[in-house]
Amino acid sequence: MRRITVLIATLAVAVSAVSAQATAAFADRPALLTSIGQSADLEMVKVLLGRAKIQFASDPLVKAAGLPAGARTLILSVGGSSKGLGAAGISTDEEMARSKALIKRARELGMKIIVIHVGGEARRGTLSDAFIEVCVPAGDLVIVVADGDKDGIFEKLAAPTRIPVIKVAKITAAGAPLAAAFK
Amino acid sequence: MKKVIIASLLIAVTAVLATSQNPVNLYGRAAVGAKGVVAAAKPEASQVGIDILKKGGNAVDAAVATAFALGVLEPNASGVGGGGFMIIKLAKMKEAVVIDFREMAPAAATADMYKYGDDGKVIGNASVVGGLASGVPGEVAGLLYALDNFGSRKLKRDAILAPAIAWAEKGIPVTVNLAIIIRDELGKINTFPATAKIYTKDGLPYELGDSIKNPDYAGTLRLIAKGGVDAIYKGEMAEKIAKAVRDAGGIMTAADLASYQVKVRKPITGSYRDYSIISTPPASSGGTHVIQILNILENFDMAKYGDGTPGADHLWIEALRLAFADRGKYMADADFVKVPLAGLTSKAYAKELAAKIVMGKAMGSATADDPTRFESGSTTSFAVMDKDGNMVAVTKSINYFFGSGVVVPGTGIIMNDHMDDFALKPGSIQSIEPGKRPLSSMTPTLVLDPAGKPFMAVGSPGATRIIAAVAQTISNVIDHKMSIQEAIMAPRLFAMASGTVQLEGRTSVNTVKALEALGHTVNVRADWDSYFGGVHAVVFNRATNMLEGGADPRRDGQAAGF
């Protein structure tokens, strides 16, 4: 039984790694990181980017009109938080409007978009799902910590336009595919 | 091969999912014991208390050991850098006592010490994050005062602290609850390198299944075991704490620590349907308002209304609104301000307030009345009761999760951010003054049955929601005859003097609709929402002659007994 467990774990890690490598580097630097939903998950993505030595700026509330001219890739840390929205002093509707306008403008500017969800199952639910539905179809790549995709919502939203979805077992494992996405 | 890989991945993912539900389970939270029961926010902490009882310690010994262990096992909620309240009634004591070890404002604190930006918020969130957020901690002074004056003296201080030291060295399990809290507070944690060093893996959060060691905190606890109160409040450690706070923008000095005072207070008392309520007086508002709310509800037949019905929930909402209106106007540290305690807890005053409640219509908002006419004269909570009738309830805190975020380098101590509990501008009775204690809602409470015998020890974390959580739990047991575990698990609600009513997700849809029809604006939250606190309580069941502990699945609660 122990052997089987080890085998399964090894294979699972291997699958993550294979998936990560399967996506060719497509994103240019520098990147701009923002939050979609104002959860604290942005902090984790910051650490992952820092570890991967990817040059980035972070602005959780950046608006379409405020997209820096030099930014080539937009990273969306998706996850809704009532507490975060409250602390930022914005409503869900305002955040949704900002998100849609931001994605639209990024596309107009030819930016690549990476969607990342590192909050796991705890960062799902009505609020988060509304933001996930807006972000995923707009992404060039989706990275998700696996227990956040129990119901397959990310794969379902990505399937129509064949957006690659990379699932990783743990937050720490999200760094590798994120780094691999950058040229 | 492809199929095998997919299957393997699915199995691996399923394994992760199977252990990441929140709450993890709803069963097995309660415990029954003939000799003693401890109900705390972590199973390991409850067991620490039981082990002390088994070694011959009394309920206070067990409570102090559990308290120090919680500082290790639930580091986001309480610890040496915080403060709290303990209520004790040993069988041989005629009257209960409250040990107030709430933080004090440093001597250099002023009513206008926080500066506001154009957005109306405190600049840099300084009342919550960083050194300026910290009051002078009282935990060690309070716990050791209790041990020295009410402990059995059969066990030495080092034996009481040993389990906490062992857990700090061995490492604590990262549960779903703790993992989520660390993720949510990662920004604050990573702001301070000494904090990030303990509570992150190179900046990323610990995850489910990991364990967190804190050898520096073990060292601090060893110093306390050896040197007692002076190990923290005098000499090198006091200098270290003050320096860390000042380095993070604060104003605390070693002299502030040296002058910290534990206050031993007379509890606030009242009754509810012939049961005696003995609770925490100012600097906590909690006990007073629990009694006030129960006094208001005593004017209604709550048992007849039933649990969770529109009528019952409407009464709870209106009673909470009336109590919180008074809280805003009258409550503060009674050492600095005259608080009309007798009026606020008077049955006659409650009757006048009850008369303001209209069953067919929501009041929307309440304004403070005049209790003086009746004058005559973020946290963890746990409860301990033993076979001899000794009762202890403790609520203690560093305020928001991970407090101010400041860890004193080399000590593992997380400093509190309880300065945020003051009114942050001048002109309020709750404004900051040097040496004053910020207003608290912590409500460790004891209940005696109609014969005057020990019945219940109860308390909760949850900021202002503590008051509602404790009152609702008491009512559930007394009015609705629930077991203590059922009373804890029942859906809760919360309302302030005005604003939206918060309902837990399991509230009946019919009740939600009926409350809206009455004119209440409601927000339905998650099914099991830690927003509503985490009640831990022990009840003496006279029918079975057994102690029954209840613990809250909204957090990591688990009772233990023997």
Separation of alpha carbons B73 and B69, rounded Å: 6
Tally Cβ neighbours within 10 Å of residue A93: 8
Cα B59 to Cα B66, B102, B383, distances in angstroms: 10, 21, 9
- Mutation target among A13, A38, A58, A147 for the B interface, most CBs of B within 10 A: A147
Please name every residue paired with A144 in a beta bridge, in sequence order, or none if there are none: A117, A167
pLDDT value, residue B332? 87
What pLDDT, in 10s, does the model give residues B89-125? 999 999 999 999 999 999 999 999 999 999 889 999 9
Q: Is B185 on the interface with A (CB under 8 A)?
A: yes
What pLDDT, in 10s, does the model give residues B317-352? 999 999 999 999 999 888 898 999 999 999 999 999
Query: Could you say which of B17, B190, B205 has the minimum Cβ distance to residue A150?
Result: B17
Q: Which of B85, B152, B23, B143 is nearest to B457 (CA)?
A: B85
- Decide: residue B229, CB within 10 A, 0-12 exposed, 13-18 middle, 19+ buried: middle
Interface contact flag, A40 B184, Cβ < 8 Å:
yes
What pLDDT, in 10s, does the model give residues B388-421? 999 999 999 999 999 999 999 999 999 999 999 9
pLDDT value, residue B447? 98
Q: Is B338 on the interface with A (CB under 8 A)?
A: no
Q: Is B118 on the interface with A (CB under 8 A)?
A: no
Question: What SS3 state is found at B426?
Answer: coil
Interface contact flag, B17 A147, Cβ < 8 Å:
yes
Structure tokens given for B134? 């910290």
pLDDT at B36 over 50: yes
Separation of alpha carbons B317 and B498, rounded Å: 10
Interface contact flag, B204 A171, Cβ < 8 Å:
yes
Residues B30/B375, Cβ–Cβ less than 8 Å: no
Q: Which of B246, B217, B187, B172 is nearest to B81 (CA)?
A: B217
pLDDT at B19 over 50: no
Q: What is the pLDDT along chain A (183 residues), one digit of tens a residue?
A: 445 544 444 444 444 433 444 468 999 999 999 999 999 999 999 999 999 999 999 999 999 999 988 899 999 999 999 889 988 889 999 999 999 999 999 999 999 999 999 999 889 988 999 999 999 999 999 999 999 999 999 999 999 999 999 999 999 999 999 999 999
Determine the distance in angstroms separating the CA of A51 from the nearest CA of chain B, rounded to an integer.
9
Interface contact flag, A15 B5, Cβ < 8 Å:
yes
Work out the average pLDDT over B170-196: 94
CATH topology of domain A2-180: Rossmann fold (3.40.50)
Instruction: Report the range of poorest mean pLDDT among B16-20, B89-93, B168-172, B476-480.
Output: B16-20
Query: Could you say which of B16, B180, B203 has the minimum Cβ distance to residue A47?
Result: B203
pLDDT value, residue A122? 84
The H-or-E segment that residue B241 falls in is helix B235-247
**Average pLDDT, rounded, for chain B:** 93
Listed by start position, the domains of chain A span 2-180
Residue B372 — very low, low, confident or very high, per pLDDT cuts 50/70/90? low
Work out the average pLDDT over B65-87: 97
Separation of alpha carbons B452 and B444, rounded Å: 18
Backbone φ and ψ of B95, nearest 5°: -120, 145
Determine the distance in angstroms separating the CA of A9 from the nearest CA of chain B, rounded to an integer.
7
What pLDDT, in 10s, does the model give residues B6-15? 444 443 433 3
Work out the average pLDDT over B524-529: 90
Q: Is A163 on the interface with B (CB under 8 A)?
A: no
pLDDT value, residue B378? 67
Separation of alpha carbons B193 and B216, rounded Å: 14
pLDDT value, residue A23? 67
Residues B139/B80, Cβ–Cβ less than 8 Å: yes
Question: What SS3 state is found at A106?
Answer: helix
Query: Could you say which of A8, A14, A121 has the minimum Cβ distance to residue B20?
Result: A121
CB pairs under 8 A between A and B: 80
Interface contact flag, B202 A51, Cβ < 8 Å:
yes
Interface contact flag, A50 B11, Cβ < 8 Å:
no
Separation of alpha carbons B337 and B544, rounded Å: 46
Q: Is the ipTM of this complex over 0.90?
A: no
Structure tokens given for B461? 């974390």
Work out the average pLDDT over B227-244: 98
pLDDT value, residue A28? 93
Q: Is A47 on the interface with B (CB under 8 A)?
A: yes
Q: Is B21 on the interface with A (CB under 8 A)?
A: yes
pLDDT at B562 over 60: yes
Among all residues of B, which ones are annotated catalytic? 379
Q: Is B207 on the interface with A (CB under 8 A)?
A: yes
What pLDDT, in 10s, does the model give residues B208-220? 889 999 999 999 9
pLDDT at B67 over 60: yes
Listed by start position, the domains of chain B span 46-85+103-261+399-421
Residues B498/B321, Cβ–Cβ less than 8 Å: yes
Structure tokens given for B398? 């560093």
Tally Cβ neighbours within 10 Å of residue B463: 18
What pLDDT, in 10s, does the model give residues B240-272? 999 999 999 999 999 999 999 999 999 999 999
Residues B523/A92, Cβ–Cβ less than 8 Å: no
pLDDT value, residue B315? 98
Chain A positions touching B180 (Cβ under 8 A) are: 122
Determine the distance in angstroms separating the CA of A110 from the nearest CA of chain B, rounded to an integer.
31
| Chain B CA closest to residue A89 | B119
CA triple B402-B462-B42, angle to 5 deg: 65
pLDDT value, residue A14? 41
